[in-house]
Structure 1
Amino acid sequence: MKIVMVCPQISSSSFITTYPYAKILSKEHDVKIVGPLLGKEPFIRDATLDFEFIEPPVGRPPQLALASAYFSVKKRLMRGDFDVMHAFKLFPNTAMPAAAVKRRIGKKLVITVDDYDVASPKNPFKRLVLRAAERAYKSADRMIVSSTYLQKIYGGDIIHQVANEPLFLGKKYTGAAVRKKYDLQDKKIILYAGTIFEHKGIDVLIKAVQSLNDKDVKLVVVGEGKTALLRLAGDETLYIGKAPIEEIPDFVAACDVYAIPTRPSTYANAQIPGKIFEPMMMGRAVIASAVSDIPAILDYGKAGLVVRPNDVRSLADGLKLLLSDDSLRRRLGDSAKRRYEAMYSYARIEEKIKTVYSKL
């Protein structure tokens, strides 16, 4: 089977969702990934995959560029040199042109939705554009969504966003290099790795760590976004900024606790942070807010601590418990790893993807 995967932007973190599908399906099918770079480097480099870069007619700003890519992508898809289109996100440069092409030439269409994107932008024009693109889901032969919240909106099969397993499990990481580089050899490390936005709750995490008042504890923040949210941070926080994706596994290996302090919102309630699977597969202790399907993923506290969202005291109490109990961290980390392997690994996700494609 020939599959063309339509990615929003191959040079952005959105490619993290496309990548596992491409790796899994390319084992048995001819897979081509199409999408723009917008003048940047691919987010993940993988010579085993087949890419076709389609740049939009308008280069800037990025939002306008992606919207204008509708025409470039539609023109490419109209060639019809494939059996199935697999579009990622209900965007004007992914699902929207794919749905238009399906109506014209009748090719099969699979759509994967990992975020409730229409709830994200505050700009009314952006929201209007996303609302128009959202209607493409009605043209899909099969829908794949990443959470129960999204399933209630769009229907389809739930396949949680999966992590970059080839990177994280490709070799053994100890975290020693990170601890040495940043002089953290004698510290208990709480790691936050990901984008920095209001719904991610980084400010709640900073306040919780500060309330511990423990000089032996260091909050390490890896990522970029709205760094103004870090203005509360003091000596208890080490802000790394954006790190190469190849270095992230060593940060995870170095941490004692991996924190996901998500704050509830319409957008966050529909989202499953893909980052949650990185510490799970590496056997690290996780503490996360009870938002979306996170409690179920962490087996309701058996594979990680689940705390009240947007609650500094609840998060601080959980952090204190984990940091003071080495055996508890090990037990939760081991349980998380077993749960990942049983339910969220490439092997398990491959079975689910094959089931979806068998229904086309």
Structure 2
Amino acid sequence: MPGEGKIKVLQAIRQGLVGGGESHVLSLVGALDKDRYEPLVLSFTDGPMITRLREMGIRNFVLPSLRAFDVSCWMRVKALIEKEQIDLVHAHGSRAASNLFLPARMAGRPLLYTIHGWSFHEDQSFLQKRLRIWSEQMLTSGAHANISVSASNRDTGVKHFKRFRSTVINNGIDLDLFNPDRELPDLRITLGIPAHHTVVGYIARITHQKDPLTMIQAFSQVLKTERDITLLVVGEGDMKAEMEALAASLNITDRVLFLPFRQDVPALLKAVDIYCLPSLWEGLPIGLLEAMAMRKAVVVTDVDGSCEIVQHRKNGLVIPVKEPEKLAAAILDLHTNTSLREELQHRAAATVAGSYSVQQMARQVGTLYDRILKTGN
């Protein structure tokens, strides 16, 4: 264990944009016991997360890098660890871990790796998937300890890697911030959404993982039978232009509202009736937890992480991946069946309130920090 003073933990994440992993880091550094731990954050790009950290008074560092296993940044990372006298390095996601595992070892500091969903997936080519599996095996075996954010992610690791060990610590959110009974601005009025419309929310990074084109295709089918409905798309990503172009080609832009990334997520969710997450894979999606906490009916795909939270027709609806017809049917079901929608909304909120608080998550992570520093594993 370190001597007198607070334990300095360097939280490392691949980017300063705000997605699930970055939201997790913000929540964790805000909830850790500040009498015991001093969190610092390293990001490999600038962005809104860095701005938020400054507002929170959390020391942060940006070392520009856009690549995994970027040898050119390793000595700078090692120098940062040594200069700041870091006690423990906590890497979030495979890209951050790939640029921390050797610098941490060279600096003689223990490394903890949180797996926010695996980097290998069924839709990858054989070679790409094998390379990702190999790199994940190296990262997990090289860490002093691993955290899986869901039991299903842990089980995937056990399936692929011999002697894989990890502690399951579910993601948690701030239930005071994501409180559906809070007074929040009425964004329906601000955004010009008709009061009688059902609002479908797609609030996510607009990337391949979140399958934005299936979302647009499904909503186009919804509009063939129902018109008093609006799709609210909030976020940025490398597929946003393609998503907008598809909406235009299907002539549905009068019912789809695109917004850039925004900080006021609770207010955005307050404006939503149905939250859709048609992901191709997940770890344990924080955006889904936030929507459920805000008492929203949710539609998710049957992928690890999402299915660990949502049970079909018990606290949400579950559909197959890449099936716009099924997504459209689920949206229509919740749009027309208000009693089902309200029942699922209340059950969703109860699910998150019972098991997914940030305070519980931070306590479990803190316990693991102490164990690593005391025993080395």
In the superposition, the TM-score normalised over structure 2's length comes to 0.79
Question: What is the deviation of 1:131?
Answer: 5.7
Change (3 A) 1:53 1:106: closer
Matched, 1:100 2:102: yes
Unaligned runs of 5+ in 2: 1-6, 158-163, 373-377
Q: Which one of 254, 264, 284 corresponds to residue 272 of structure 1? A: 284
Structure 1 CA distance for aligned equivalents of residues 288 and 352 of structure 2: 10
Contact 1:11 1:43 in 2 (8 A): no
Change (3 A) 1:135 1:164: farther
User: 1:290-329 alignment to 2 at 5 Å?
Assistant: 290-329=302-341
More displaced, 144-153 or 252-261? 144-153
Matched, 1:248 2:265: yes
Contact 2:53 2:59 in 1 (8 A): no
**2:59 alignment partner, SS class:** strand
Q: Which one of 70, 73, 77 corresponds to residue 73 of structure 1? A: 77
Structure 2 CA distance for aligned equivalents of residues 76 and 140 of structure 1: 19
Question: What is the deviation of 1:187?
Answer: 1.0
More displaced, 36-45 or 338-347? 36-45
Q: Which one of 89, 98, 115 corresponds to residue 93 of structure 2? A: 89
Task: Please provide the CA RMSD for this pair.
Answer: 3.2
Matched, 1:190 2:200: yes
More displaced, 66-75 or 312-321? 66-75
Structure 1 CA distance for aligned equivalents of residues 273 and 245 of structure 2: 24
Q: Which one of 24, 33, 39 corresponds to residue 31 of structure 2? A: 24
Q: Which one of 228, 250, 254 corresponds to residue 216 of structure 1? A: 228
Matched, 1:7 2:25: no
Equivalent residue number for residue 34 of structure 1? 41
Contact 1:285 1:332 in 2 (8 A): yes
Structure 2 CA distance for aligned equivalents of residues 142 and 193 of structure 1: 32
Equivalent residue number for residue 243 of structure 2? 229
Unaligned runs of 5+ in 1: none
More displaced, 171-180 or 348-357? 171-180
Equivalent residue number for residue 44 of structure 1? 52
| Structure 1 residue identity aligned to 2:29 | A
Structure 2 CA distance for aligned equivalents of residues 168 and 293 of structure 1: 20
Matched, 1:199 2:202: no
Contact 2:219 2:328 in 1 (8 A): yes
Once the two structures are aligned, what percentage of the paired residues are identical? 20
Q: Structure 1, residues 254-312: CA drift from partner, whole Å, max 9, x if none?
A: 1111111223xxxx1x5333210111111111111111132230134311111222222
Question: What is the deviation of 1:43?
Answer: 5.3
Change (3 A) 1:321 1:132: closer
Change (3 A) 1:40 1:130: farther
**1:5 alignment partner, SS class:** strand
In the superposition, the TM-score normalised over structure 1's length comes to 0.83
| Structure 1 residue identity aligned to 2:305 | D
User: 1:115-154 alignment to 2 at 5 Å?
Assistant: 115-117=117-119, 135-151=138-154, 152-153=156-157
Structure 2 CA distance for aligned equivalents of residues 86 and 345 of structure 1: 20
Question: What is the deviation of 1:51?
Answer: 1.3
Equivalent residue number for residue 161 of structure 1? 171
| Structure 1 residue identity aligned to 2:256 | L
